[in-house]
Amino acid sequence: MASILFLYSTIDGHTLEICQRLQAVVEREGHAVTLRELTKSPDISLDGFDAHVIGASIRYGKHRPEVTRFIENHIASLESKPSAFFSVNAVARKPEKRDPDTNPYVKKFLKSISWRPPVIGIFGGQIDYPSYGFFDKNMIRFIMWMTKGPTDPNGTFDFTDWDDVDVFGRKFCTLVAIDD
């Protein structure tokens, strides 16, 4: 049984929901999972964990800067043990944008860091217009209008392919098992 740390950066909570789903998948495989929000635990040590997963959401085209800082500050640990990364973004609502080579945000992010995670997942996020303030609601509606996405200001839209999340979790467990 491996001890696995899931670090996540979330703005509206959906990345945490994905982590919780992944936690269930990984725990069914017999591993122990610890969840930590990266923005609330920026100094967390990776020591004591056998493997690591970092999940980060996008807002206005970027992952939060603390995700990049954390990765660069812990590159040796991330590269020395099984590790994975996943991104949550509304562009991935389109199946052709769920690959590291086709998702513009992940492509840009991977160019900005030196870590090369062996397992990368890209999941469609969630748009929850009723929970947003005036600025975010209107900016996101405008972006969705431009990209032919949903714009109903009263709607909540979950673009996550939960089967893909499960596949990512099982793939990561395979990586952990190889390292044992």
If the chain, 180 residues long, is cut into consecutive pieces of 10 residues, what is the mean pLDDT of each piece? 94 95 96 92 86 93 91 93 96 94 95 94 96 95 94 96 96 81
Amino acid at 30: G
Q: Where are the domains of the chain?
A: 3-125+160-179, 128-158
Q: Residue 95: its pLDDT value, please?
A: 93
Q: What is the DSSP letter of 131?
A: G
Share of the chain above pLDDT 70, in %: 98
Question: 3-125+160-179 domain in CATH 3.40.50.360?
Answer: yes
Q: Residue 98: its pLDDT value, please?
A: 94
139 close to 14: Cβ distance less than 8 angstroms:
no
For 48, counting Cβ atoms within 10 Å of its Cβ (0-12 exposed, 13-18 middle, 19+ buried), the class is exposed
HSE, CB side, 13 Å, CA atoms: give it for residue 31. Answer: 27
HSE, CB side, 13 Å, CA atoms: give it for residue 89. Answer: 27
Over the chain, what is the mean pLDDT?
93
Rounded to the nearest 5°, which phi and psi values hold at 89?
Answer: -155, 150
Quote the crossing angle between the two packed helices 14-28 and 162-179, to the nearest 10°. 50
3-state secondary structure of 41: coil
Q: Residue 179: its pLDDT value, please?
A: 62
Question: Radius of gyration over alpha carbons of the chain, in Å?
Answer: 16
- How far apart are the C-alpha atoms of 112 and 173, rounded to whole Å? 27
Amino acid at 52: H
